Every structure is written in structure tokens, then in C-alpha cells.
């Protein structure tokens, strides 16, 4: 190591990856950001408008309303994931870590939806909840919910469509937090738990006193992964509700709003500059989340840990 | 490991090269369209008929979902990946494509003389000097009904709006398990297209009303236009169970399976329903005018045409296809293969399908008008057509009263449409 | 604490765990099996008795027939396979090279490079779509599999480099030093250490595979042509075109799910090892 005059080999090792990564990830990202600072005229020329597009997005009623609507819907989407997907994932991981027989079978099954395409999962659930197929209504009738306005049209009601889609997404993605929690739980030395059990501690106590404190760092990782995934989501809404994210834009999230802005819809053409602006806002939101995680959460974690 | 990896890499590169390098011996023409329902017919009937004349041209019909067609087409045109032939929506959308250079002028195409000016108007520049799409067909709105179910319960097709609503009430009482009116609001566009565009012309007075609207004398919140929304609101109790989650294809499924009485239709559904359930015994009635009305109106909409992508690498072959579209042979084939698409050619064509003929006969008894939001009113954002989807759904779902919905859509339109500026102030839009 | 009371409590607890996990597994398998099962029934039976398995009277493969007549699923599958394989090879191999450089050598820009390359783990590549589309259009790469491969490689590299550099850093130095004393070149040493991190390479491949195989966004935007459709886009388009033909819809869903499930079974060991090794930091 560290003895050659010019480290050609380092360049050779690094160059291909850095080149592809810079060219197809960093450069397009910067180009998009630059593009969001311009507006195209009718004759196709581009004029520099500085932050004009961002101001328009946040103040012009035609843009402000759909933007904040998509943003808050996305927040709801994220909150549902945080409050259901991750706790249930943790519960499943704890059950799987409790040395029962056949744990690997359960683990393999529960992870299966995660490897399927969101398009297929969304479409399959749409069929199951469809009023035409005789699955959902007979089930509701048996439960005595046959007259419930919301239950009979889960994907059609403004009050329930977003929640339903979030639940479908939770159903699909629960495997990821489950696996990460499971990994963290397995790494806990079994002597610790056995010692506590010998002392007569209940499983509940063992979990809160020993297991949970040791997997707290994983909780942070899961949270930030969920955050990035959710604010970047698109496929599920597009596949089940279409690009208009109905009813009445109640399932519109940042991804679908970006798609519609960029590509346009029905009789309206898209606006690439505003599309880039929406993407710029998404980048800002995600970066804010990541920084919060790195500086808020992880710093504190380092202090807590040994 | 290293050797295996490079081996895999070489193999993959080889696969890719042979795969991407495969040249096409035939000339290939790709058609962009939103008519997904007609995929089989194009493949089995229309393209083979064309290939009898031009066996060396391979035509591929590649439709996209109707609701996504425009967006997908735009993105493909932008990226330079669109097909050679582009199925044209009427009015503004295609005009804009022409203005951006995505549709070639077709004035000189042999056979264009086979169309009247009326047929060409939806695909010509405002001054009429350039036509950029070959007109294919218009569609008519109305209602399809299940004849067997009507006979079983002794119902008659209604003549007036009041009879219509009354009939729906009787259906609900006599056959609670069946849906009186089969339509959903999940996909959003049906509520506006099969709903409002279908019935509202009777209230706002067809072409005359549409012109008054364009000139700023009427708005969505005035007279006939508001009455159109009010009429639509009356449908809500008679839609299928869970209609908010019923998609367009769900509704088609419900009606063809005999699980409902009446289906608010576009004439293009006729052919689809024949395919889905050949045994279905269908009848049709036009949008019933209110009692006492002296005139009745139907939505007769120039719907579909085809243009040439100037970026096409097979423009010669594509033009051959367009030429063929102007012939009587195509008109007859298309009108009969797809009952419910009424060719716009000058020829006298016999349509054999009785239900399609019923639709066609309304041209004698009613005045036709096209979907009003397509012309001018959707040229800017927020566009009236998309807003009409949202407003119609909100009315049927019970989220907005007709007055609220009318005011909402008028405020959005008058925010940019100059002739309506005065409404913006009158309505106190924020 | 002793005796039968404790044993009864344990039995009770374990059966409770099994019951919970069984119930959740059922919830997972129900939609998948339902779709698969009904894809082998005729239209009447699909709607009439959705929960009944196909019987000799209701058995039908018409949906699959339509699928093979109309859509080119074999071809879509091949596209997905090419894109995924080539991307994975590039992600793993180029990632290993860069990861090795970052772990093994000390140079001025080391920390900067590590952070620069790690940015891509946190920032989704989709946000650069506008730029990517313009770049690909300028280079005439739109509607080619190459465009997809390049984008997926760029997408997968950051995580791959991150994981692999950690594995390389854990290698004992004796082996490398011995090779160096024997006069082996740095390139030669790299080929010698690569087999030592083979499990890690498999892990990276398994983790990177899912998002590449299942992606809808980039095929939809960069390569929507018939020639270059991947299986997910092909299925999405087909589902949109055949909304009325439930037999075909269910067949398409089943057929698009099967390759993913097979791949999963093939690679589940690596995948789970990767995830449980805390690879995703």
C-alpha cells in the first residue's frame, strides 16, 4: 500500500463506477435542478427565471392546492406505514426470533409479496376489492357491513381510498422491516435473554427491557428507509387509481403529482420545467428527512451506544 | 469468479447485440391508439384487409389505456419513441400536436376529398386551411338497455326525462338486486362523458348553447348548464352498489352479465358488448329530453382520426395506410366491424347492426352537438374537460351539490378563459 | 415456576405464536393463490364461484391462450432477463472494483469519494428523471435496453460499493501482503481477493435484483416500445388493454408473478443473508 508514485490502479478501479454513477445519477439530478430554474416560451426557447417556478408552485392557487394536497396525502401515507408496517413488522420479527419450529417457512412466505412487482400487487388487490368480483361483497354481507357506504367502495371513497392503498402497500412491504428487525434480534446474545428468563421475567418484560433497547438503531434505519420509499412512491397509485389519483385527487401523492405535471393529462400537455420543479421539491423533502435522521437521530444514538 | 463474471458479461453482451441488431425485412408501421377494446378486431379484421392490398407492410396496432393515452403519447413524442401513425383526439389536443410539429399536414393526401368539411373540422386549423388527420369516425351517446330484463319486468324505454327517473325508481323497487343504471365513478371520465356530455345538451340547447357559452353569455353555473348538473345528480340513488369503486370495465362487466337494466353508453360500447356477451339482447334509447321540450339533442362527437408522425422512418408505408383509410372499403369495414363507430366518409354505407342503426337514426330526429369542453375550453390549465370529470364525480358521489360543483368549475375556467372573465368576479371566485 | 404449570404456559404461548404467524401467512398467500387459482377457470366460474378451485368442468386455459396469441410475453421476459442480468453483473463487478479501491488504498479523495458515492443510497434516482430522459434522447438511447441497463447500474452502484467496501475492509491483511511480496500487481491481487468475498457478491446481487426486475417507472418512460418492453411494463399495458377479459387478466398476473417467485426461491438464501447481515445500514 501507499508506495507507488501515481496510483493508476486506484483510478482504474474507481473510474468505471464513478463515471456511470456521475453520468446517469448525479448529472441528471443536477440537470433537472437546473431545468427547474427555467421556463420555456411558446417558441421553445428557455428563459432563466431563478426560483420563479418554486414560488409559483408554492403560491399560485393552480399549483399550490394540488402540491399541498399531494404533500399531505404523502404524509398520511407515511404515517400509516410508520404506525402499522413497522410495529407489525417488529411483532412478526419478535415471534420469528422466539426459536419456534418452521420459522424459516413463515419468514419466506411473509417476505414473498415484497419481491413481487407493485403493479401486480396493486392490480390483484383492485380485483379482490372490485364490486364486480364476488369476493368482497359476500365477505361484507357476512360481517354485516353490506350497507356500509365506505366499506362497499373502499377504493372509491375519498375518506378510505388513501388508507386502503396504504394498507395494500403495508401488506406488500412489511417483509423489509421484519427482516431488518429479525437480523437485529438474532444478533442479541441469547445468554442475555436466557438469564432474564431464569430470573422469571415475562416475555413482555424481556422484550422491553432487553430486546427493544438493543434494536433501537434499527428502528431509526427502518424509519428513514420507509420515509425515502414513501415520498418516492408512485407505482401503486398509478396502477390502481390511474394518473389522476382519484377520487377527487384524494390519493394523489408526490410521485403521481410529479408524473402528471411532467407528462400532462388527458387534454392538457405536460410541463417539463414545472415537473422538474416538483422533483426538486421532492428532493428537498427527502434530503430534509435524511439530514434530520443523520444529525438528529443518529448523533443521539452514538451517544447512547457504548 | 472473475472469469465467470466476464463470461457472463460477454454472453449478455452477445445476447444484446444479436437481439438489438435484428433488422426488420418488412416495412413496419406502428399505430398509437387509445382503442384498447378494439385490439382483436384490428389484428384479425382490419389489418389483414389492408395487407391484401399491401402485403409487404407490417402494421402493428399498439393501443394504450384511454385514460393514459394522451400522457403516454406526449411522453413518447417528446422522447422520439412514438409510433408512425397517431390516432387523433378531436379538436384542441390534436391541434396542439400539429402546432408542435408532431402531426404532418395531410391536405395533399389522395382521398381526402372523400370527407366533408364538417368531418374535417375537428382536425383542421382554426382557419380550415390545413387538415392534419384523416377522419375515421364519430360516436353518439345514448343509453343501452337489457331487453330481456325490460320484458321480464314489463318496462318500456322512457320518452322524457321525468319518465326516465320514474322508471329508475320502479326498477329499484321491483328488482332490488339489480342495478337500475350501470355506471361507476372510479375511473372518473365516464361520469363526465356518459353522464354530463350525454344528457346536458338537452338542457343547454345543443350547438346554440355551446356557442353562447364560448362567447361568455352562459357559464357552467347558469340556466341549462346548471340544469345539466342537476339532472346528473338525480342518477346517484340508482347507480350500482359500491358505484364509487366501480370502474369502466366493471360497469361493462355488470351490464353484459345481466346485473343491471340500463347502461349510459357511448356507441362504441355496442361492438364491445357483442364480443363480451354475444347472447345479450340489447336495445337503445336516446338521452330523454325534459317534458315539454320542443327539440331534443344528442351528443354526436367527431371522435377518432389518424395522422402521420413527421418523425416516422416509414412515412411512405404509413401514408399508404392513411390513403387506405379514405376508401369506401375501409369505411364499410370499420363501420361494421366496430358497430358504434360511424364513419365520416361521404359514401353511402350500410350498417348491418340493428343497435348501431338505432343510434344512427337519432340523427334524423335530434340535433347533434359535440362534447363542448373539447373546443377551446381545454386549451389551458386548469382545463375544463378534466375539471368536468372531477365535478361530475363529486356530484354523483355526493361530495358537492350541483350548484357547488358548477361554481367550482366555472371559477377555474374563468380564471384563464377571457370571454368568461366577468363570471370570475360575479361569482366571487377567490 | 416448575412443573406442569410452566409447561402448559409454554405450550399455550407457542401455539399462540404459531396461530399468529399462520394467520398472517394466510393473509399473505390468499390474494396470490386466489389470482393463480382463478386464472385456470372459465369466465363463468371466475365470477360465479371465485373461491372454488377449478374443477374439470370449469377448468380453462383460454386466458393463457389469449396471452400468448396477443402479447409477446416470452419476449418481455427475455428483455427483463437481459436488463436484470447485465445490470447485476455491472453493479456487482464495478461495485466490487470501486469498493476495493475505497477499502484498500489511502488516497487524498478517499473520504470525499466514499461520501459522494454514498449520496445515491439516500437520494432516489427517479428525481433525476427529467435529466435522464433528456440525456438519453440526446444520445439516441431512448427505447433501447442499454438505457435501462445504464440507469439501473447507476441506481445499484452506491449500495453495492458501500456494502462491498465494508466486506473488503474486514479481510485479513496477511493474504494481500503475502501476494504483494510475491510481486503480484494490484490488479492480480484484486482477482485473488474477489473470491474471498463471494457471499457478499451474492448478497449484493440479490438485494439489487428486486428493484431492477420490478421497476415500472423507467421502462414506462425510457423504453416503452414493443421491442424493449420489460415483463412488468408488458403486464401493465396488457392489463390495461384487457380489462374486460378477466381470464386473460388473471393469467397475465399469474404469469408475471411466477418468474419473480422462482427467482426469489433461487436467491432467497443470499437475499435473506444479505438483509440479516445488516447489510442495509
Contact call for B241 and A131, based on CB within 8 A: yes
Whole-Å CA distances, C125 to A27, A231, C204: 11, 13, 18
Percent of chain B with pLDDT over 90: 71
Equal fold, B21-138+302-369 vs B140-300+375-426:
yes
Helix (H, G, I), strand (E, B) or coil at B179: strand
pLDDT digits (tens, 9 = 90+) for B148-192: 999 999 999 999 999 999 999 999 999 999 999 999 999 899 999
Which chains reach chain C with 3 or more Cβ–Cβ distances below 8 angstroms? A, B
Q: Which CATH class is domain B21-138+302-369?
A: alpha beta
Strand B27-33 vs strand B85-88: parallel, antiparallel, or unpaired? parallel
Whether B265 contacts B194, CB under 8 Å: yes
- Predicted local distance difference test score (pLDDT) of residue B288: 96
User: How far from each other are the two terminal CA atoms of chain A, in whole angstroms?
Assistant: 32
Contact call for C222 and B249, based on CB within 8 A: no
Q: How far apart are CA C262 and CA B349, in angstroms?
A: 55
- Report chain B residues whose CB lies below 8 A from the CB of C217: none
Q: Is the CB of residue B243 less than 8 Å away from at least one CB of chain A?
A: yes
pLDDT at B260 over 60: yes
- Report chain B residues whose CB lies below 8 A from the CB of C86: 9, 12-13, 16
More confident: B12 or C111: C111
Task: Note which residues in 232-251 of chain A have CB less than 8 A from chain B.
Answer: 242-244, 246-249
Q: How far apart are CA A96 and CA C17, in angstroms?
A: 8
Helix (H, G, I), strand (E, B) or coil at A244: coil
By residue count, chain A amounts to: 306
Contact call for C244 and B276, based on CB within 8 A: yes
Strand B282-285 vs strand B27-33: parallel, antiparallel, or unpaired? unpaired
pLDDT at B391 over 70: yes
Whole-Å CA distances, A104 to A109, A211, B297, B332, C272: 9, 20, 67, 64, 10
- Report chain C residues whose CB lies below 8 A from the CB of A280: 127
pLDDT at B263 over 70: yes
Q: Is the CB of residue C223 less than 8 Å away from at least one CB of chain A?
A: no
Any idea where the domains of chain B sit in the sequence?
A: 21-138+302-369, 140-300+375-426
Could you say which architecture CATH assigns to the domain A50-304?
Orthogonal Bundle (1.10)
Spans of chain C, pLDDT less than 70: 1-3, 274-281
More confident: B261 or C196: B261
Whole-Å CA distances, B223 to A201, B231, B291, B385, B427: 76, 12, 16, 20, 15
Q: How far apart are CA A52 and CA B184, in angstroms?
A: 41
In this prediction, residue A163 has a pLDDT band, given cuts at 50, 70 and 90, of: very high
**Whose CA is closest to A72, among A297, A249, A273, A277?**
A249
pLDDT at A17 over 70: yes
Here the cell at position B224 is 341549462
Which chains reach chain B with 3 or more Cβ–Cβ distances below 8 angstroms? A, C
**Whose CA is closest to B423, among B222, B224, B200?**
B222
- Which of A50-54, B109-113, B274-278 bottoms out in mean pLDDT, i.e. has the lowest? B274-278
- Predicted local distance difference test score (pLDDT) of residue A296: 81
- Report chain B residues whose CB lies below 8 A from the CB of C129: none
Q: Is the CB of residue A152 less than 8 Å away from at least one CB of chain B?
A: yes
Q: Which of B58, B64, B249 to mutate to test the interface with C (most CBs of C within 10 A)?
A: B249
- Residue A61 to chain C, least CA–CA distance (Å): 24
Q: What is the phi/psi pair of residue B187, to 5°? A: -85, -5
pLDDT at B76 over 90: no
Question: Which superfamily does CATH assign the domain made up of B140-300+375-426 to?
Answer: Periplasmic binding protein-like II (3.40.190.10)
Q: How many degrees, rounded to 5, is the angle at CA B43 between CA C246 and CA B263?
A: 45
pLDDT digits (tens, 9 = 90+) for A232-288: 898 899 888 988 888 989 999 999 999 889 877 766 777 889 999 999 999 999 999
Residue of chain A whose alpha carbon sits nearest to that of B247:
A130
User: How far from each other are the two terminal CA atoms of chain C, in whole angstroms?
Assistant: 41
**Whose CA is closest to C271, among A183, B325, A142, B314?**
A183
Amino acid at each position: 500500500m501507499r508506495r507507488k508514485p501515481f496510483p493508476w490502479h486506484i483510478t482504474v478501479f474507481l473510474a468505471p463506477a464513478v463515471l456511470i454513477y456521475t453520468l446517469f445519477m448525479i448529472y441528471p439530478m443536477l440537470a433537472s435542478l437546473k431545468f427547474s430554474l427555467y421556463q420555456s416560451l411558446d417558441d421553445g426557447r428557455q428563459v432563466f427565471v431563478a426560483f420563479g417556478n418554486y414560488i409559483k408552485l408554492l403560491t399560485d392557487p393552480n399549483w399550490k392546492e394540488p402540491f399541498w394536497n399531494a404533500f399531505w396525502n404523502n404524509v398520511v401515507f407515511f404515517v400509516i406505514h410508520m404506525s402499522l408496517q413497522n410495529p407489525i413488522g417488529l411483532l412478526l420479527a419478535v415471534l420469528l426470533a422466539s426459536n419456534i419450529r418452521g420459522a424459516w417457512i413463515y419468514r419466506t412466505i411473509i417476505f414473498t409479496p415484497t419481491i413481487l412487482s407493485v403493479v401486480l400487487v396493486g392490480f390483484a388487490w383492485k380485483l379482490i376489492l372490485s364490486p364486480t368480483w364476488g369476493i368482497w361483497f359476500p365477505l361484507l354481507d357476512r360481517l354485516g357491513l353490506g350497507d356500509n357506504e365506505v366499506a362497499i367502495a373502499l377504493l372509491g371513497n375519498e375518506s378510505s381510498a388513501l388508507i386502503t392503498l396504504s394498507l395494500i402497500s403495508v401488506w406488500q412491504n412489511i417483509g423489509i422491516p421484519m427482516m431488518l428487525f429479525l437480523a437485529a434480534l438474532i444478533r442479541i446474545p441469547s445468554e442475555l435473554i436466557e438469564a432474564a428468563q431464569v430470573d422469571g421475567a415475562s416475555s413482555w418484560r424481556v422484550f422491553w427491557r432487553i430486546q427493544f433497547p438493543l434494536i433501537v438503531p434499527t428502528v431509526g434505519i427502518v424509519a428513514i428507509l420507509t420515509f425515502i420509499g414513501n415520498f418516492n412512491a408512485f407505482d401503486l397509485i398509478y396502477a390502481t387509481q390511474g394518473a389522476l389519483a382519484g377520487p377527487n385527487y384524494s390519493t394523489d401523492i408526490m410521485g403521481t403529482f410529479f408524473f402528471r405535471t411532467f407528462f400532462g393529462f388527458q387534454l392538457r400537455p405536460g410541463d417539463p420545467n414545472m415537473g422538474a420543479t416538483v422533483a426538486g421539491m421532492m428532493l428537498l423533502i427527502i434530503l430534509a428527512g435524511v439530514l434530520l435522521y443523520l444529525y438528529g437521530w443518529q448523533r443521539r444514538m452514538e451517544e447512547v451506544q457504548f | 469468479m472473475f472469469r465467470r463474471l466476464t463470461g457472463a458479461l460477454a454472453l449478455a453482451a452477445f445476447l444484446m447485440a444479436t437481439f438489438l441488431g435484428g433488422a426488420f425485412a418488412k416495412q413496419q408501421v406502428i399505430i398509437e391508439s387509445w382503442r384498447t377494446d378494439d385490439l382483436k378486431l384490428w389484428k384479425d379484421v382490419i389489418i389483414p384487409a389492408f395487407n391484401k392490398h399491401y402485403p409487404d407492410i407490417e402494421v402493428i396496432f399498439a393501443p394504450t389505456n384511454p385514460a393514459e393515452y394522451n400522457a403516454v403519447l406526449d411522453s413518447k413524442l417528446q422522447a422520439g419513441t412514438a409510433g408512425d401513425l397517431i390516432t387523433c383526439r378531436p379538436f384542441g389536443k390534436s391541434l396542439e400536436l400539429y402546432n408542435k410539429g408532431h402531426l404532418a399536414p395531410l391536405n395533399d393526401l389522395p382521398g381526402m376529398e372523400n370527407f366533408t368539411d364538417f368531418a374535417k373540422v375537428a382536425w383542421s386549423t382554426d382557419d380550415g386551411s390545413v387538415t392534419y388527420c384523416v377522419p375515421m369516425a364519430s360516436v353518439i351517446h345514448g343509453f343501452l338497455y337489457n331487453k330481456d330484463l325490460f320484458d321480464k319486468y314489463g318496462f318500456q324505454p322512457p320518452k322524457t326525462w321525468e319518465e326516465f327517473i320514474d322508471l329508475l325508481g320502479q326498477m329499484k323497487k321491483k328488482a332490488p338486486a339489480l342495478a337500475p343504471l350501470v355506471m361507476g365513478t372510479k375511473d372518473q371520465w365516464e361520469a363526465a362523458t356518459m353522464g354530463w356530455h350525454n344528457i346536458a345538451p338537452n338542457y343547454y340547447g345543443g350547438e346554440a348553447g355551446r356557442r353562447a357559452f364560448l362567447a361568455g353569455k352562459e357559464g357552467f353555473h347558469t340556466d341549462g348548464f346548471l340544469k345539466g348538473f342537476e339532472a346528473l345528480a338525480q342518477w346517484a340513488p340508482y347507480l350500482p352498489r359500491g358505484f364509487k369503486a366501480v370502474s369502466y370495465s366493471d360497469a361493462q362487466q355488470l351490464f353484459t352479465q345481466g346485473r343491471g337494466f340500463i347502461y349510459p353508453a357511448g356507441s362504441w360500447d355496442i361492438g364491445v358488448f357483442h364480443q363480451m356477451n354475444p347472447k345479450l339482447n340489447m336495445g337503445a334509447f336516446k338521452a330523454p329530453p325534459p317534458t315539454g321540450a320542443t327539440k331534443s339533442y344528442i351528443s354526436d362527437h367527431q371522435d377518432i382520426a389518424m395522422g402521420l408522425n413527421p418523425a416516422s422512418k416509414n412515412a411512405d408505408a404509413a401514408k399508404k395506410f392513411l390513403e387506405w383509410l379514405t376508401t369506401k372499403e375501409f369505411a364499410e369495414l370499420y363501420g361494421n366491424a366496430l358497430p358504434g363507430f360511424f364513419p365520416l366518409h361521404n359514401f353511402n354505407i350500410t350498417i348491418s347492426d340493428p343497435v348501431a342503426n338505432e343510434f344512427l337514426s337519432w340523427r334524423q330526429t335530434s340535433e347533434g352537438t359535440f362534447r363542448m369542453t373539447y373546443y377551446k375550453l381545454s386549451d389551458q390549465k386548469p382545463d375544463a374537460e378534466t375539471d368536468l370529470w372531477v365535478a361530475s364525480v363529486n356530484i354523483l358521489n355526493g361530495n358537492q351539490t350541483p350548484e357547488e360543483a358548477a361554481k367550482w368549475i366555472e371559477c377555474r375556467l374563468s380564471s384563464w378563459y377571457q370571454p368568461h372573465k366577468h363570471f370570475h368576479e360575479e361569482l366571487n371566485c377567490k | 415456576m416448575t412443573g406442569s404449570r410452566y409447561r402448559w404456559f409454554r405450550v399455550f404461548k407457542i401455539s399462540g405464536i404459531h396461530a399468529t404467524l399462520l394467520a398472517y401467512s394466510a393473509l399473505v398467500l390468499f390474494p396470490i393463490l386466489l389470482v393463480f387459482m382463478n386464472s385456470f377457470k372459465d369466465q363463468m366460474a371466475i365470477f360465479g364461484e371465485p373461491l372454488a378451485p377449478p374443477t374439470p368442468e370449469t377448468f380453462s386455459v383460454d386466458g393463457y391462450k389469449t396471452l400468448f396469441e396477443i402479447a409477446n410475453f416470452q419476449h418481455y421476459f427475455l428483455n427483463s432477463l437481459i436488463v436484470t442480468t447485465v445490470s447485476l453483473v455491472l453493479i456487482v463487478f464495478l461495485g466490487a472494483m470501486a469498493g476495493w479501491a475505497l477499502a484498500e488504498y489511502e488516497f487524498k479523495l478517499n473520504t470525499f469519494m466514499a461520501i459522494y458515492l454514498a449520496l445515491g443510497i439516500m437520494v432516489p434516482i427517479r428525481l433525476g428523471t427529467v435529466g435522464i430522459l433528456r440525456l438519453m434522447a440526446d444520445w439516441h438511447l431512448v427505447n433501447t435496453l442499454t438505457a435501462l441497463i445504464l440507469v439501473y447500474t447507476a441506481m445499484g452502484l452506491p449500495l453495492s460499493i458501500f456494502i462491498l467496501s465494508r466486506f473488503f475492509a474486514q479481510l485479513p491483511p496477511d493474504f494481500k501482503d503475502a501476494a504483494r511480496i510475491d510481486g503480484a500487481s494490484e490488479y492480480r491481487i484484486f482477482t485473488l481477493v474477489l473470491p474471498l468475498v463471494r457471499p457478499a457478491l451474492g448478497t449484493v446481487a440479490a438485494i439489487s435484483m428486486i428493484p431492477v426486475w420490478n421497476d415500472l417507472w423507467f421502462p414506462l418512460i425510457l423504453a416503452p416500445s414493443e421491442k424493449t418492453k420489460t415483463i412488468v411494463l408488458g403486464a401493465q399495458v396488457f392489463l390495461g388493454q384487457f380489462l374486460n377479459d378477466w381470464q386473460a387478466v388473471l393469467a397475465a398476473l399469474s404469469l408475471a408473478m411466477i418468474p419473480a417467485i422462482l427467482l426469489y426461491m433461487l436467491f432467497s438464501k443470499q437475499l435473506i443473508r444479505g438483509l440479516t447481515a445488516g447489510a442495509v445500514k
